[in-house]
Amino acid sequence: MAKADLSVTLAGVRLKNPIVPVSGTFGFGEEYGQFFDIERLGAFCAKGLTLRPRVGNPPPRIAETPMGMLNSVGLQNPGVDAFLEREWPRLQGLDLPVIANISGDTPAEYAAMCEKLSGAGVDMIEVNVSCPNVKAGGLAYGTKPELAAEVTKEAKDHAGGTPVMVKLSPNVTDITEIAKAVEGAGADAVSLINTLRGMRIDLNTRRPILKRNTGGMSGPAVLPVALRMVWEVHNAVKLPILGMGGVTNAETAVEMLLAGATAVGMGSALFADPMAAVKTVDGLADWCAAHGTTPKELTGGVLPWA
């Protein structure tokens, strides 16, 4: 059986395969490198960065849900300068694209981070306008088309030619309106979905399990929502899509491609099985070879009934 060509191009960046561990689930790659060669991946998205260091939200900030998890980590990170000083020298030597994810409280913060990261030479910048578990900035930007467009334009104006991908929130009435807004503002790609807002309650204390009361829900339970939104956005804009939400194996990755994704993000699955991403790469290669197809041919290939 001939090996399938798994390569894809996302916003002008070539990936050897479409599987991308998503921001917040893969750290800066060092821990997972103890389990497998991370250069086998298509790319990876580093942990979300802010302009200044953040300690994140108080614990408890992780809770289990049926077929998934809630998180309210709150963007704990060392800050963009520390990332560039401590992590980037190692990461830029890898044979795979590195996507830097950024969040800010103001458009000016996004602009400053884009300048720093593009100047350092990252392959792509993912602009997070949709973090559901911080008080300011991200949630508001991701739920209003005009604000999402404002941040997108500011990022593009300061990214120095580095592709800008905007991460969209599912916690909206119509995700296509946000997608159209960021496309009009110059985005090179979109990623979706970010986590859904959720809650669990401790029956003994009658308090929410998470200290911040609510958090972001991810995992296999969100797959049908993610597929629907990726399909809707694929049909609404011309931007390439990094599709994510509930992908756990090659079969669900194929579903995401058929819905309209160019590349496929994996997140919560990595906590259950650190090898999930490379298993999916191998499984996707087998599936494509058996069906005589490629990820590029699968993208948007769903055949709706009407």
* DSSP state for residue 39 in the 8-state scheme: G
CA distance 200 to 209: 6
CA distance 30 to 173: 38
Among the listed residues 45, 114, 131, 288, the single catalytic one is: 131
CA distance 208 to 125: 34
The answer to whether residue 131 is catalytic is: yes
Bridge partners for 128 per DSSP: 167
Going through 13-77 in order, the beta strands assigned E by DSSP cover: 13-15, 19-21, 44-45, 62-65, 68-71
Q: Name the helix (H) or strand (E) containing 189.
A: strand 189-192
Distances (CA, A) of 128 to 3, 120, 226, 276, 295: 36, 19, 17, 24, 26
Which residues are part of the catalytic machinery? 131
